Amino acid sequence: MDSPGAAARPAARAGSPESEGVGVEDVSAEGRVTRAPAMTDVARLAGVSHQTVSRVLNGHPNVREQTRLRVRAAIEELGYRPNRAARTLATGRSQLLGVVAPNSTLFGPASLLAAFEWAAGTAGFSVSVRRVGVLDRPSIAAAVEHHRDQRVAGIVVIAPTASANEALAEIPSTVPVVTVDGDPLRGTALVTVDQEAGAMAATRHLLEAGHPTVWHVSGPSDWFDAAGRVRGWRRALEEAGAEVPPVTPADWSAAAGYRAGQMLARMPEVTAVFAANDHLALGILRAMHERGRSVPGDVSLIGFDDVPEAAYYIPPLTTVRADFDEVAGETLHLLLRRITDGETGPVRRILSPTLVERVSVAAPAR
């Protein structure tokens, strides 16, 4: 509205044209506030046209080496920095990537987000994050629209729940979108962790330790991650011919794990539990402890995520680890390919998690 020096706007190009080394940034020699150097200022100083400066900046081939050096020197001297808004306006493309993420600090999404921001930053892209409170259709659609307004080059949607699905279907294909942790069955670009494989590995590990069957405390049922882990658990049991006990439903919190654990702790037939994440496992651990059931003496337990603290639970937790750096890297890679090559076909990258063995698993007491 009223930033200082706004009145000086039509001034510019005052002073002798060849005055060397003047333009620092915001205050001229006379102490007057002036604008930041633009491409034409660089051009004038280097004795070329603004278009040549543009060519140097964008690495175009047909520029003589000597000219290139002269321009670079001028850029350096003026401390020139290109105006991204102008470039975006002129090209219709930006160096901005949009992310739609759930408004939570859950370990998975938070780790993924951090890893993606880091990877994108390293690749020279900015990341604009839009948090959504509930992952329903209108919220996600609004967040996507918001990003499109900014002319982002591409969008990443961290949409771990089923309710987000329909919103994704509505996104016009004019802007590249990659979904992370979304519906593995959808026909778009998707990167996710093989939840089913991870859950199978955990369940098999417990069966192989000698347990007749494995109980499962699941995450919220509308999360794909949770559903995939249930599927893997069930499949491992079925393949081994073991009885499939009822799922104990929960959310992702230690509180829910504790409540589930209180139930399971009173059932003597429960000797092995696979929890859908480490925080649930922590709650279960405490419930077992309170009921005097030792882990792994009486009950074996496996979690999922390998949060950094899992190794310091009592006892240290056997769990399943996904490599979020890898997921983020793949996501970025896929998105950039879609941006530059205009690819639009369905692509799926499903990364395998690994079992991390610690001490919360043992053979069942006889």
Angle between helices 224-239 and 195-208 (to 10 degrees): 40
* d(C-alpha 3, C-alpha 317), whole Å: 57
* d(C-alpha 85, C-alpha 359), whole Å: 55
Query: Can you tell me which of 215, 224, 274, 313 binds its own copies, judged by CB under 8 A?
Result: 313
84 is an interface residue for its own copies by CB under 8 A: yes
Please, are residues 94 and 88 in contact by the beta-carbon 8 Å criterion? yes
Query: Can you tell me which of 23, 44, 45, 55 binds DNA, judged by CB under 7 A?
Result: 55
366 is an interface residue for DNA by CB under 7 A: no
Per CB under 7 A, the segment of 3-11, 99-107, 126-134, 211-219 that binds DNA is 3-11
33 is an interface residue for DNA by CB under 7 A: no
Please, are residues 299 and 272 in contact by the beta-carbon 8 Å criterion? yes
* C-alpha 195 chain-centroid distance: 17
Residue 39's binding partner out of its own copies, DNA, none, with CB under 5 to 8 Å set by partner kind: DNA
Residue 224's binding partner out of its own copies, DNA, none, with CB under 5 to 8 Å set by partner kind: none
Query: Can you tell me which of 182, 283, 303, 353 binds its own copies, judged by CB under 8 A?
Result: 283
350 φ, ψ to 5°? -120, 115
Please, are residues 229 and 252 in contact by the beta-carbon 8 Å criterion? no
Dihedral over alpha carbons 105, 108, 113, 115 (to 10 degrees): 130
> Is the CB of 127 or the CB of 191 nearer to its own copies?
127
Per CB under 7 A, the segment of 80-88, 96-104, 274-282, 316-324 that binds DNA is 80-88
Buried residues in 135-169 as b, exposed as e (16+ CB within 10 A): bebebbbebbeebeeebbbbbbbbbbbbebbebbe
Per CB under 8 A, the segment of 15-23, 155-163, 183-191, 285-293 that binds its own copies is 285-293
* d(C-alpha 32, C-alpha 364), whole Å: 81
309 is an interface residue for its own copies by CB under 8 A: yes
* d(C-alpha 125, C-alpha 130), whole Å: 16
Least separation in angstroms between residue 305's CB and DNA is: 43
308 is an interface residue for its own copies by CB under 8 A: yes
* d(C-alpha 362, C-alpha 133), whole Å: 41
83 is an interface residue for DNA by CB under 7 A: yes
- Residues in contact with its own copies by the rule CB under 8 A: 1-4, 25-26, 81-86, 88-89, 93-94, 96, 103-105, 107, 110-111, 114, 117-118, 121, 126-131, 133, 145-146, 148-151, 172, 174, 253-255, 257-258, 279, 282-283, 285-286, 289, 308-309, 311-314, 316, 340, 342
By CB under 7 A, name the binding residues for DNA: 1, 6-7, 9-10, 12, 35-36, 38-40, 47-52, 54-55, 57-58, 61-64, 66-67, 80, 82-83, 86-87, 89-92
